[in-house]
Every structure is written in C-alpha cells, then in structure tokens.
Amino acid sequence: MAAMRRFLILALLLPLAAAAQAPEPPAGFRIVNRTGVEATALHAVRSPRGAGNDWGNSLLTAGRPLPINGGFRVVPSDPAACRFDLRLVLADGRESVLPEQDICANRTIELATAAAPRPPPPPASLVPQAPPNQAARNVSTGSGFIIAADRVMTNEHVVNGCNRIILRTPEGRWLAATPPARVDAALDLAVLAVPGLPGPILPFRAGPPVRRGEGVVAYGFPLAGLLSSDPKLTRGEVNGLAGIADNRNQIQISAEVQPGNSGGPLLDMQGHIVGVVVSKLNAQRVAQRTGDIAQNVNFAVRSEAALQFLTRAQVTPRSLPSQGAERSAADVGDIAHRSTMFIRCER
C-alpha cells in the first residue's frame, strides 16, 4: 500500500516537473520580409512616433540586408511595450510600412506589400505663417484634426461665414486654410485644405462597431480666452448609439465638452477616431421644458457618417481595426495631441 501511495504521488508530481522545465518563449517579436525584395533597413518604433515622425536608426547592420523571406528578432527595451510602427526600406527604393502593430498579441509579423515612400513634408521654415489678425471684429474658435495629407476635419458650424480661417499647430505655428472648404451642413462636418501641416494622420476605426459603455477620449480647445491655451482631454463613455430625435449619424457620450471642443476628435482607447465632437445638450432649455437640469449629455458625429462624407469630398483617410490591449487615456491624448489643431475663424 505504501509503494502504491508513493507511485501516485510521483505520477502527480511529474507533470508539474515537466511544465517547470518547458522552455520559455523567446523575448521580443519577429519581423519577416515577404516583400519579394531584400531590405536594406528595418525600423521598429514604439507607437505613437514623435511629432516629426522620426523612424530613428535602422536595426540592421550596415552591409547585411534582410533577405527575401528572412526574419529579424526585435527585443524592445521596455518589455511592457505592445504597439510598434514597423518599416522595411527595400533595395529598390520602396518601403513597406505597418503602423500600430500589437506585438503582444502577434509575435510574428510579416511585411508583404510595398510602395514608393511618401515625399517628406516641406520644412517649417518654407511654409508661410498666417498670424491672427488682431483687428478682426468678430472671432470664434473651435477644434480640428488631421485626417489626410494637408487636410483637417472639423464642424461646419466652426467655419461657417468665416472670411479667414487659420489653424494653430501643436508646435505653435499659425497656418492658413485655403478656400473653399468642403462642407456638409446636415452632418455639420467640414474639411479644410491646409498646406504644410506637420502632424501625422489620425486613423479612423475600421471595426468592430462601437458599443455602449466603451471608453472614449475627447480632445480639443474648449472655452478659448477663458481657460489656458493648451488642449484639454476629457474621458467618458459611449452612452447611446444615436443623437437627439434618434439621429443615427450621431452617438451620445459622457466625455465632457464645452464651446470650442466642436470639431475635435473623439477617440477610442486604441487612439482611433470614432466620432467628431459636435455639441452638448442645452441644459437651460431642457430645464425650462422639464423642470430638471440635464447633466453631461454630449454628442459626436459617428465615424461612419464622417467617412461617407470624406468619400464624397474625395478625401482618402486611414482606417485601422481596434484590437488588442487598450491604451491609457494619457497615451491616447499623446496620439491626439500631435494631430489636433486650434481653429480661429475671423469675420
């Protein structure tokens, strides 16, 4: 009986010993070149990259290209880092880029498609600045964000009736919008052409569909002239999937917004656009009708409606699926900050 008991104990302990001896997976993640051309440079930069979109130094040793179907293991200095922008520079001058890859969920990433590199933006010194007209008799302000090269999205009511529209970049430069703006008054959306924009493009969410209760971040410039001039971040949730009177082009949010937030981005916790901040409920009018003060009822134009408008305006934005671990509100704010503009309308 004692011998049988010892056998059972060993049988129970053996699987544990085998599990303890199993090798740990290799650190980092692997990049595989499936472009059909050897790569002369490889870049892996934690998302989001800096305001200058700097890729940094190549990870490949000089004179040792990454061959076709070859792999390269990247070990991040921060083991908790999950999202990276990846880039291969090919021997024929093209490049293969995959932004915002979740390397914690996918440890092997293949780069297969390549295209000619985008021309670099003109130096800031060559872009003429457009300082505010201090003699303007009527001035209003709002927010906007970069959705394509030299294109900014905002609300139609932010730019309606303006004689001159200028935008302040995160670096503090003033740039002029080139008329005419493309607008949709029914959706309350507008797209401005602004040559010389320095910041990166904010991607729209390609899926999955937005749900009630999802966390969102609003970013913009509320109450200009009263609050500080820097942008403000508020965090909330998606409360409803329609606006007032069942307006299906809008969603209701609890992220607090004020006058001046109009036209700013509403981002999910991956840093992707899910809406364009448009309005808040008029609490005074509601109180007059109901005797109760409605609190923190705000609205944004749905990203789907915004994308349809951009198609009609012949603007091609970026879209990315929202997958993997959520970012912190501070990280989402860093993403929004590089691409969100203060808009000044002069009449």
Active-site residue set = 157, 188, 262
Sorted by sequence, the CB contacts under 8 Å of residue 158 that are 6+ apart come out as 140, 141, 142, 143, 144, 190, 262, 263, 343, 345
Give which of 155, 125, 127, 130 is closest to 143, Cα–Cα.
Answer: 155
Position of tokens 């927010």? 143
Distance (Å, whole) CA 6 – CA 56:
60
DSSP 8-state class, residue 260: T
Give which of 193, 318, 282, 297 is closest to 250, Cα–Cα.
Answer: 297
What's the angle, vertex CA 69, arms to CA 65 and CA 75, rounded to 5?
Answer: 65
> What does the CA dihedral 188, 192, 198, 201 come to, rounded to 10 degrees?
50
Sorted by sequence, the CB contacts under 8 Å of residue 278 that are 6+ apart come out as 155, 188, 250, 262, 263, 299, 300, 301
- CB count in 10 Å sphere of residue 3: 6
Strands (E), 177-293: 178-184, 189-193, 204-207, 215-220, 232-240, 250-253, 265-268, 273-280
